[in-house]
């Protein structure tokens, strides 16, 4: 349909007709509306197929005929099923964008030769074979993962484990989170509980959050993370530090271990969710790891920035040493979140010391990581727009285990000119 409309608008006489004839403008609006409707329904079908209801998805797609989004979803589902003959002979394949049609053919060829190859490698190699792709435009069903989230937020999606039934909700209430407090029996569950109760310094939720943090700090006295959480809980980034804060901060960062990372949390949650028979453990574990990752290092960085911006007199060398200890731990972690926070902390330490060369080096590192995130996200978002269930699961798992390594692979994939967003 999109191709017919473009050809219709391509001639000068058709353009005059659109300007002069209201009925034809209305007809064009109907076409655009129909195309949007087809996209929405195709995305819904992809999400239904993801949930394991292939027949229902097929029936929905059948009603869309050869609309481009429907053809694209059929192709992706056939790829996931390794039905390569169907992939190459699906009616309407010519309706796909040329670069995407080329990618489909290259993928089918690779799957025929290497049927056990992982999806991420298959897509990367096929992409390189095809050449630059307009990734910024996204696929015709780029919103399909949002349909998955919408389906999961509605009944009957409910895990047998009451803790995860609440923790995997998109927006659990504080009362729901508090109700599963007795089920937070491991340190990683306690960290997730703290993350879900984040915000506010008063009320029952804040009291429970502080109790859980105290339990974590008592259980692992060598863990720097929990000591910092206990010190900084309830404070905000706009509160300056003073010399009175330094002894406790120095004692906290003197602990021998900073063992909490997005990766360690992801792996622990993945195991827990798999034991709970979660139908989508990787996605839920990934989200839980981000929620649970402590905000204390970020709060420390912001409070140090406020301290310097406001010109609060204090022993800046001592504060810089505290920041360096935390920043170095985070700057080598394998998640973009931790690495960016760590690099910001190291930059602040250099600025506190008046170390111009150190600050320039820290800014360069920070700029490199921001560029990696920006350029990697263009490619990741594009690949996430392919409703191939195996691909989405692998991308999610790879990002949870080593996001930096995944993004370094992705940025090697060629993009068509204009596919990158403006620099930060």
pLDDT (tens digit per residue) in 72-93: 999 999 999 999 999 999 988 8
DSSP of 268-294: HHHHHHHHTT-SSHHHHHHHHHHHHS-
The pLDDT, as a whole number, for residue 406 is: 98
The pLDDT, as a whole number, for residue 18 is: 28
**Smallest Cα–Cα separation from 393: which of 299, 292, 315, 282?**
282
The torsion angle over the Cα atoms of residues 264, 265, 268 and 274, rounded to 10 degrees, is: -130
**Chain-centre distance for alpha carbon 21:** 47
End-to-end CA distance of the chain: 37
Q: In the predicted model, what is the mean pLDDT of residues 105-126?
A: 96
Rounded to whole angstroms, the maximal C-alpha distance in the chain is 79
The C-alpha atoms of residue 407 and residue 424 are separated, in whole angstroms, by 17
The C-alpha atoms of residue 99 and residue 88 are separated, in whole angstroms, by 15
* Inter-CA distances, 101 with 75, 107, 329, Å: 10, 10, 45
Q: Average pLDDT, whole number, for the chain? A: 89
Q: Is 90 exceeded by the pLDDT of residue 10?
A: no
Q: In the predicted model, what is the mean pLDDT of residues 364-393?
A: 97
The C-alpha atoms of residue 24 and residue 2 are separated, in whole angstroms, by 16
The pLDDT, as a whole number, for residue 153 is: 52
Tens digits of per-residue pLDDT, 149-205?
776 654 444 568 999 999 999 889 999 999 999 999 999 999 999 999 998 767 888
The pLDDT, as a whole number, for residue 422 is: 54
Q: Is 70 exceeded by the pLDDT of residue 13?
A: no
Q: Is 60 exceeded by the pLDDT of residue 128?
A: yes
Tens digits of per-residue pLDDT, 322-367?
999 999 999 999 999 999 999 999 999 999 999 999 999 999 999 9
Q: Is 90 exceeded by the pLDDT of residue 231?
A: yes
Q: Can you give the residue ranges of every domain in the chain?
A: 2-147, 184-261+292-410
Tens digits of per-residue pLDDT, 406-420?
999 999 999 998 766
The C-alpha atoms of residue 185 and residue 272 are separated, in whole angstroms, by 12
* Element (DSSP H or E) covering residue 230: helix 224-232
Q: Which residue has the higher pLDDT, 151 or 264?
A: 264
User: DSSP assignment, residue 131?
Assistant: -
pLDDT band per the 50, 70, 90 thresholds, residue 251: very high
Strand partners of residue 257: 223
**Smallest Cα–Cα separation from 77: which of 56, 98, 99, 102?**
56
Q: Which residue has the higher pLDDT, 29 or 318?
A: 318
Q: In the predicted model, what is the mean pLDDT of residues 274-279?
A: 92
The pLDDT, as a whole number, for residue 152 is: 60
């Amino acid at each position: 349909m999109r191709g017919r409309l473009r050809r219709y608008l391509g001639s000068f006489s058709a353009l005059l007709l659109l300007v002069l004839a209201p009925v034809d403008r209305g007809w064009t609006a109907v076409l655009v509306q129909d195309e949007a409707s087809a996209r929405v329904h195709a995305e819904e079908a992809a999400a239904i197929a993801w949930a394991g209801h292939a027949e229902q998805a097929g029936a929905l797609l059948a009603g869309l005929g050869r609309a481009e989004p429907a053809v694209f979803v059929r192709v992706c589902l056939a790829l996931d099923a390794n039905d390569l003959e169907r992939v190459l002979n699906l009616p309407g394949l010519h309706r796909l964008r040329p670069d995407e049609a080329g990618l489909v053919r290259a993928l089918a060829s690779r799957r025929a030769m290497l049927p056990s190859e992982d999806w991420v490698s298959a897509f990367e190699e096929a992409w390189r074979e095809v050449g630059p792709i307009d990734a910024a435009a996204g696929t015709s069903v780029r919103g399909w993962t949002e349909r998955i989230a919408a389906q999961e937020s509605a009944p009957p999606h409910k895990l047998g484990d009451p803790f995860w039934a609440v923790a995997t909700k998109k927006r659990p209430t504080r009362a729901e989170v508090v109700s599963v407090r007795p089920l937070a029996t491991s340190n990683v569950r306690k960290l997730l509980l703290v993350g879900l109760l984040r915000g506010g310094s008063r009320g029952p939720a804040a009291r429970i959050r502080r109790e859980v943090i105290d339990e974590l700090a008592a259980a692992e006295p060598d863990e720097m993370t929990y000591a910092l959480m206990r010190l900084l809980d309830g404070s905000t980034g706009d509160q300056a530090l003073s010399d009175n804060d330094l002894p406790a901060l120095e004692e906290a960062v003197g602990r021998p271990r900073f063992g909490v990372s997005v990766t360690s949390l992801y792996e622990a949650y993945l195991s827990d969710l798999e034991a709970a028979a979660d139908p989508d453990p990787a996605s839920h574990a990934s989200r839980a790891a981000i929620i649970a990752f402590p905000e204390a290092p970020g709060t420390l960085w912001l409070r140090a920035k406020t301290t310097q911006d406001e010109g609060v007199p204090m022993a800046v060398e001592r504060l810089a040493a505290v920041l360096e200890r935390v920043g170095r731990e985070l700057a080598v972690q394998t998640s973009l979140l931790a690495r960016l926070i760590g690099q910001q902390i190291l930059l602040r330490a250099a600025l506190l010391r008046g170390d111009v060369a150190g600050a320039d080096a820290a800014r360069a590192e920070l700029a490199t990581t921001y560029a990696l995130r920006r350029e990697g996200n263009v490619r990741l978002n594009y690949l996430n727009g392919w409703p191939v269930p195996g691909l989405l699961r692998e991308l999610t798992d790879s990002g949870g285990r080593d996001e930096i390594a995944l993004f370094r692979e992705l940025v090697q994939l060629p993009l068509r000119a204009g596919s990158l967003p403006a620099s930060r």
